[in-house]
Amino acid sequence: MFEKLERKMVNALLFLDLFKMKTKIPKDFTKVMELQNKRVQKLVKKAYKIPFYRKRFDEAGVKPSDIRTGDDLAKLPLLTKDELRAWMNEEAKKKKYDSWYHDTTSGSSGVPLMLLVSPKEKAYNMANWFRVMMVAGYNPFFGKTMSRKSAHSISGGHDTFLQRFGILRRGFVAQYDPEPEIVKQINAYKPDFLYMNKSEFMRICLYCKQNKVKLAKPKYYCPTGEKIDDTARKLFREILGPGIIDSYGTAETGAAMVRLFSSKEYVVHNDSFVVNIYDEKNQPASEGNIVVTPLYKTDLPLINYAIGDRGTCEVRNGVRFITSVQGRMNDFFRYETGEVTTFFEIAPIIAHYDDVFQIRFIQEDWHKIHIQCVQNKELSTKSLPEIEKDLTEKLNAKFKHPFEIEYEWMDSIPPDPNGKLRMIVCKVGE
């Protein structure tokens, strides 16, 4: 009813939401978890009034009163991307959503997904991103932020009334420009906070390392869109400094948790999200599938949304901490037999292979894999033919059936058209 007005007031709503958010990681999570439980109960009551969810509740034999905590969400089924896509496409036909945002994901895991977002939930999601910065110690109001250009980007500097007074200053870097030009843009603006896709950071940092070029070190920087592996983390810290912020979430959910600087684990924004780990039977586990429920999304909820990644966790004093994010579950190699080899089966080889900085696998057909590689010239003592021979032997020892493997050596691996970089691109059997 009030969506048109809320859309005009989205920035004001953003600041109201941010004012109420927890912007520091608490030492005692008791009150935060009490708030989480209240919001879980509110969410399921509202969801049960929506036909899509009432059917899911009833089929599971669950009533809203059965859900009291984030752990109780395991009583409900997972929400898959395909189910969400079908539901959103059906809802979008209704006139009442004309004033809502019709956001679209990048499609990095398949077909892009259209998501209906109410103006007040859009404001909360934006405020939550500011919260990520503030949890790390950055002040987004008085610091200088720099990000990749998007379709909605404007030029940085003093463009608005507030920016003339040093408030909410924001610059943009043309992420598809040649590396020297990108370095020039960053060094000229000297941002306090820099964020781009992880693959874009990788390209720039590799260029600086290989050419001994100095890049302005921001106080904080956040590689987005993809999992940050240990090799990338080490490179980023070398080129950009210690201020790395690893924010985890999706376009659908928003930023659900954060890993700061040298920390080994992710802390969930428990006032706004429930992040669970489920095993193959969709029961709580210490290792398995990452499942996210945004508690602020009560208009068209995402309950038990299956991200598509695997992870591990520890529960301490009733609070779940995510200790690792292992990457997408659909990253696998296919065989004519119907068998597959997952990325997790070969991941230990890649993680401990010091001769290679960056790698991507492209399965061309049932019998052939094309591998794009960036050599770690600082640590590698082997020639390229020696690396190819050694790596081929190690990989084929893990594959269920050996592949013919060809290599393409590069200075950096270019991202996909959406700006991200898929580790495995399988062109057969889908």
Q: Who wins on pLDDT, 159 or 343? A: 343
Q: Which amino acid appears at position 13 of this protein?
A: L
396-418 mean pLDDT: 88
Identify any residues that bridge with 104 across adjacent strands, giving them in sequence order. Answer: 114
Model confidence band, residue 416 (pLDDT cutoffs 50, 70, 90)? confident
pLDDT of residue 176: 81
The residue-averaged pLDDT of 301-311 equals 93
Instruction: Work out the mean pLDDT of the chain and round it to a whole number.
Output: 89
Q: Do 3-123+251-260+262-328 and 332-426 show the same overall fold? A: no
157 has pLDDT over 60: no
Could you say which architecture CATH assigns to the domain 3-123+251-260+262-328? 3-Layer(aba) Sandwich (3.40)
pLDDT above 60 for 109: no
Ramachandran category for residue 61: left, alpha or beta (phi over 0 → left; psi -120 to 50 → alpha): left
Instruction: Give the CATH number of domain 124-250.
Output: 3.40.50.980
**Residue given tokens 């190690």 in the structure block:** 394
- CA–CA dist 121, 161 (Å, integer): 26
Residue type present at position 259? R
| 3-state secondary structure string across the chain | CCHHHHHHCHHHHHHHHHHHCCCCCCCCCHHHHHHHHHHHHHHHHHHCCCHHHHHHHHHHCCCHHHCCCCHHHHHCCCECHHHHHHHHHHHCCCHHHCCCEEEECCCCCCCCCEEEECHHHHHHHHHHHHHHHHHHCCCCCCCEEEEECCCCCCCCECCCCCHHHCCCEEEEECCCCCHHHHHHHHHHHCCCEEEEEHHHHHHHHHHHHHHCCCCCCCCEEEEECCCCCHHHHHHHHHHHCCCEEEEEEECCCEEEEEEECCCCCEEECCCCEEEEEECCCCCECCEEEEEEEECCCCCCCCCCEEEEEEEEEEEECCEEEEEEEEEECCCEEECCCCCEEEHHHHHHHHHCCCCEEEEEEEEEECCEEEEEEEECCCCCCCCHHHHHHHHHHHHHHHCCCCCEEEEEECCCCCCCCCCCCCCEEECCCC
Residue tagged 């935060």 (tokens)? 32
pLDDT over 80 at 128, yes or no: yes
pLDDT digit string (tens) for 269-290? Answer: 999 999 999 998 889 999 999 9
Residue 262, number of CB atoms within 10 A of its CB: 9
| Burial class, 96, CB count within 10 angstroms (exposed 0-12 / middle 13-18 / buried 19+) | exposed
Task: Using pLDDT thresholds of 50, 70 and 90, give the confidence band for residue 162.
Answer: low
Which residue, chain included where needed, has tokens 């070190």? 217
Identify the pLDDT of residue 259.
Answer: 96
CATH class of 332-426: alpha beta
% of the chain exceeding 90 in pLDDT: 63
Q: Which residues contact 17 (CB under 8 A, 6 or more apart)?
A: 123, 124, 127, 128
Supply 408's token pair: 């393409």
Contact 295, 86 (CB under 8 A): no
Instruction: Give the Cβ contact number of residue 103 at 10 Å.
Output: 15
332 half-sphere exposure, CB direction, 13 A CA radius: 16
Please return the burial class of 157, using the count of CB atoms within 10 Å of its CB with bins 0-12, 13-18 and 19+.
middle
The predicted structure's pLDDT at residue 107: 54
Is the pLDDT score of 124 beyond 90? yes
Structure token pair of residue 104: 């679209």
With beta carbons less than 8 A apart as the criterion, state whether 118 and 100 touch: yes
Separation CA 205–CA 242 (nearest Å): 14
Calculate the CA 356 to chain-centre distance. Answer: 24
248 compared with 167, residue with greater pLDDT: 248
Q: Is the pLDDT of residue 12 over 60?
A: yes
Does the pLDDT value for residue 408 go beyond 90?
A: yes
C-beta atoms surrounding 170 within 10 Å: 21
pLDDT of 187 > 90? The answer is yes
pLDDT digits (tens, 9 = 90+) for 221-275: 999 877 888 888 999 999 999 999 999 998 899 999 999 999 999 999 999 999 9
- Our measurement of the distance from residue 105's CA atom to the centroid of its chain's CA atoms, rounded to an integer in Å, reads 12
Identify the pLDDT of residue 7. Answer: 77
What does the block give as tokens for 69? 């905590």
Contact between 192 and 216 under an 8 Å Cβ cutoff? The reply is no
Q: Where are the domains of the chain?
A: 3-123+251-260+262-328, 124-250, 332-426
What's the confidence (pLDDT) of residue 108?
52
Residue 419 pLDDT > 80: no
Half-sphere exposure of 283 (CA within 13 A, CB side): 1
More confident residue, 281 or 291: 291
**Does position 158 have pLDDT exceeding 50, yes or no?**
no
In whole angstroms, give the CA distance from residue 221 to residue 420: 17
What local confidence, expressed as pLDDT, does residue 367 receive? 94
What's the farthest any 2 CA atoms get from each other in the chain? 67
Residue 88 or 12, more confident: 88
